[in-house]
Chain A
Amino acid sequence: MAGLDTEDERKEELETLQSIYPELDLDPAIPFAARIELLVAPSTPLPVTFAPEQDVQRLAYLPSLRLDIVLPAEYPAEAPPSVDISTTPSWLPATAIDSLRGEAKALWEEYGGGQMLFAYVSYLQEAADTAYGLAELTLPSSLKLGLLAYSARMKRELFDKETFDCEVCIEPKKGSACYRMQRCNHVFCIACLQDYYTNCIKEGDVDNVKCMSTECGGPKKKVRLISPKELLQIPLPRETVERYAKIKRKKKMEADPAIVYCPRSWCQGAMRTAKYPKITDVSQMDDSDSEADEPVEASQPQPSTGPEKRRIGVAGMDRLAVCEDCKLAFCQICLASWHGDFVRCEPRDSSQLTEDDQASLNYIMRNCSPCPTCAVPCQKSYGCNHMTCFQCKTHFCYLCAAWLSPDHPYGHFNDPKNKGCFQRLMDLAEGDMAQGDVQFGGRRGAEQIADFWEAEAMRIQMELNERDS
């Protein structure tokens, strides 16, 4: 560097500029050359149309403007600086670049051959605020993903560097520990958001899962609840968000008089309906809902109009309901299992059983052994009397419905103390034909004995009647 004049005005100007913009890059290989990247953040996001899809996106940040400066020996007195402007990828139109470059010469003339680099960089920064005078931009769609990702990344990076005062813990927090609410832009620290929403959801108080800010809502205004998707972004644990979505759905369904529940007392699932689809993936639920905060209008069955009574069977089509949990097809009116369209039926209280249901229940009670853990009824089709519940995997004895130790289930059949089951492991090995010829224990055995004595009492009564006559 010995050959360079230390008194050179150009060197001095570049050094001054670097102290103002520390990111200014001086190229040691080329004397009096500098490069700077300038942030492009228009004060109103720039609408960019991506062709050919005509997809319009508003970009808050665009890839930075690169300014390359080379100061010729005649600068500043006799010649303007040589400037080059570019963007990567190249999104700034050539006409805009030319006009920005032209401004360098204009400024140099305005300064009458004085140092003008700082003024020029300031000018470029200010011009970025109005997107260099661009009102909109059309770019090939191949740039779309890259530009969108850049804008999102810059937004995140700048947010992370900022400091916010969380109004809940009243502490200053780095942006990286904060979250900005999507709908209203209020910022809180993630820890407070997690605490608050987890607490609300734990208590089932889903109506308070909304923005915490005092500016949102109030006694009169209705505030939208936060969507499950946004809760996951904060982030809240998935189980919590699932519980939230479930409770919300349940509340809406319970408020809807058109929803009928499965008549099976062990199920009680809701009927399938397109209005309240079953929750499959909470991460896709960004309906910040209140979709049914509006009062649900009771969809009553259409009253049959006119004297044409025959139409009832057809109109009765909407009596069919299917349980979303156990898939039972049943009639919404009489709550019996589905009887087809052409049967007249009466509305029924869900606690009553129809004759058919009662008969079916009686059959189950008499001919099935219940699992001692979950009470699911089972009827053996073949094999030994050591059963494993298909539902809860409990080991039990088919004859007396006693719980068996999973480690040595057969001990039960080898112990003379268990009179009813001793050495009867293989009874009914061909399957339980429900013929009443095998003695059971437990509830089923009691039913059997009750049946026996009922029949016996009947027989004795008959005998007495015969004797009397």
Chain B
Amino acid sequence: MSAGAKKRIMKEYTECMNDPPTGMKINFNEQNMTKWEVLVDGPEQSIYAGGHFKLEINFPNEYPFKPPVVSFKTKIYHPNVSNDDKGSMCLGLLRADEWKPPNKVVAVLRLIQTLLIEPNQDDAIEPSIANEYKENRKEFEKNAKDWVKRYAK
């Protein structure tokens, strides 16, 4: 990773420390600054309220020219998060063709918070969950809350 990329990640971290984004905690390891661990609280107004989700943010070598890679380490029942051991996400800003170098990690974290409140059904990585969200909201909410209890407490 170039010196410029490291400097930029460091700057973004400092910004996060000076103005901490609400509802999350960032764990930063100076030895390996290209991998952030973020603990995101399920937003109050969402079905994920009360849950705490561990996220991993990996910065590619070409950062900020390429987007960071986000994955949920805590299992979550959500149309936009892959339902496997990877918990990967790939939409909006996180896509290489939509990412712009001035975008920051904070914007990515905010996007995730918005998605927890309102999933994006049109850009789902898990079609069956998206379908349930659309057709049978009750069942979806029950499953999602169930998973929060099981994995995210």
User: Which A residues fall within an 8 A CB radius of B?
Assistant: 167-171, 191-192, 195-196, 199-200, 207-208, 212-214, 217-219
Q: A169 and B7 in contact (CB under 8 A), knowing A199-B62, A199-B65?
A: yes
Q: A168 and B97 in contact (CB under 8 A), knowing A195-B4, A213-B102, A214-B103?
A: no
Query: For the complex, what is the distance from the CA of A346 to the CA of B123, rounded to whole Å?
Result: 48
User: Which chain B residues border A199 with CB–CB below 8 Å?
Assistant: 62, 65
- B146 on interface, CB distance cutoff 8 Å: no
**Cβ A170 vs Cβ B101 within 8 A:** no
A-contact bits for B1-27, CB 8 A (1 contact / 0 none): 010100110011001000000000000
User: Which chain B residues border A169 with CB–CB below 8 Å?
Assistant: 4, 7-8, 11
Main SS of chain B's interface residues? loop
Q: Which of A167, A195, A219 contacts B65 (CB 8 A)?
A: A195
Could you pull out 20 A-B pairs where Cβ atoms are within 8 angstroms? A168-B8, A168-B64, A168-B101, A168-B102, A169-B4, A169-B7, A169-B8, A170-B8, A170-B12, A170-B15, A192-B101, A195-B65, A196-B65, A196-B101, A199-B62, A199-B65, A212-B100, A213-B100, A214-B102, A214-B103
- B98 on interface, CB distance cutoff 8 Å: yes
**Cβ A208 vs Cβ B102 within 8 A:** no
**Distance from B4 Cβ to chain A, minimum over Cβ atoms (Å):** 6
Query: For the complex, what is the distance from the CA of A195 to the CA of B62, rounded to whole Å?
Result: 9
Contact size range, B: 10 to 19
A-B contacts, CB under 8 A, total = 39
Query: For the complex, what is the distance from the CA of A200 to the CA of B66, rounded to whole Å?
Result: 10
Query: For the complex, what is the distance from the CA of A193 to the CA of B71, rounded to whole Å?
Result: 29
Q: Which of B2, B11, B100 contacts A170 (CB 8 A)?
A: B11
**Distance from B36 Cβ to chain A, minimum over Cβ atoms (Å):** 17
**Cβ B98 vs Cβ A219 within 8 A:** yes
Chain B 96-147 interface residues, beta-carbon cutoff 8 Å to A: 97-98, 100-103
Query: For the complex, what is the distance from the CA of A237 to the CA of B66, rounded to whole Å?
Result: 22
Nearest 8 Cβ contacts at the A-B interface: A167-B102, A168-B101, A214-B100, A212-B101, A170-B11, A196-B65, A214-B102, A199-B65
**Distance from A342 Cβ to chain B, minimum over Cβ atoms (Å):** 51
Query: Closest residue of chain A to B10, judged by CB?
Result: A170
Query: For the complex, what is the distance from the CA of A252 to the CA of B12, rounded to whole Å?
Result: 39
**Distance from A190 Cβ to chain B, minimum over Cβ atoms (Å):** 13
Query: For the complex, what is the distance from the CA of A262 to the CA of B64, rounded to whole Å?
Result: 42
Query: For the complex, what is the distance from the CA of A199 to the CA of B15, rounded to whole Å?
Result: 27
**Distance from A210 Cβ to chain B, minimum over Cβ atoms (Å):** 10
Chain B 39-87 interface residues, beta-carbon cutoff 8 Å to A: 62, 64-65
Query: For the complex, what is the distance from the CA of A195 to the CA of B4, rounded to whole Å?
Result: 10
Query: Closest residue of chain A to B64, judged by CB?
Result: A168
Which residue, of A167, A169, A170, A219, has the highest number of chain B Cβ atoms within 10 A? A170
**Cβ B4 vs Cβ A191 within 8 A:** yes
User: Which chain A residues border B7 with CB–CB below 8 Å?
Assistant: 169
**Cβ A208 vs Cβ B97 within 8 A:** yes
User: Which chain A residues border B64 with CB–CB below 8 Å?
Assistant: 168
Query: Closest residue of chain A to B12, judged by CB?
Result: A170
Which residue, of B15, B62, B65, B98, has the highest number of chain A Cβ atoms within 10 A? B65
